[in-house]
Amino acid sequence: MAWAPLESIGTMVSLIAVVISVTGLAFRTRQNTQSLRTLTYSRSLDRLASIQSRLSGDADMARLFAVGMRKPDELSAGDRIRMTWVLYEMFGAFEFMFDQAHEKALPADVWKRWAATVSWWLSLPGVRAWWRAKPAPFNPRFSAFVDDRLARPVLDADAAARWQAFLRSDARADHEDPVPPTPSAGQA
């Protein structure tokens, strides 16, 4: 019996099995990478949601933060320290996303959105003052990014104008017509 053809078939079957195994491994690695990206972004959003929850659930803290963002000199030293802890937590989440984006664990378009959010926060006088006075540093790359945004502001002027108009709006106007009118059959 000739063993060479059987050896060739055995080699071919082994080669096919290796290709299938490597393809499966590549597929699982890709799935794990996607899961890691999702988890990374989720952790960042959880950190920011925690801050938002605290600010929306504590009227005193919300007032302190609102005043501190625009006029930090009107806050006591104790209130500035409270504001500092919130900003460290917020910018710590931004720093984490920045690092993850640079390591390709966070998609570039997602980081682009958050980079614009960092710029918006840096447009506020209290955040700028805090950044310059912060007692503990962030990592050098993130610090350089923020310093660059401070030196050359990147802000959507239209969005900033809409925000300022919203803040100046008459609170009574918000309650005049709480339910939008329902279109009648002739209007639809």
* Per-residue pLDDT reduced to its tens digit, 51-64: 888 888 888 888 88
pLDDT of residue 21 exceeding 80, the answer is no
pTM reported for the whole predicted model: 0.68
Checking if the pLDDT of 115 tops 60, the result is yes
Average pLDDT over residues 130-137: 92
Among 2-6, 118-122, 141-145, the minimum mean pLDDT is found in 2-6
User: Using one digit for the tens of pLDDT, what is the confidence trace for 92-109?
Assistant: 999 999 999 999 888 899
Mean pLDDT check: name the lowest of 30-44, 65-79, 124-138: 30-44
Q: How many CB atoms are closer than 10 A to CB 36?
A: 13
Highest averaged pLDDT of the listed ranges 27-36, 124-133, 158-167 = 124-133
Whether residue 37 has pLDDT greater than 80: no
Give me the phi and psi of 107, to 5 degrees please. Answer: -60, 145
Residues above pLDDT 70, as percent of the chain: 80
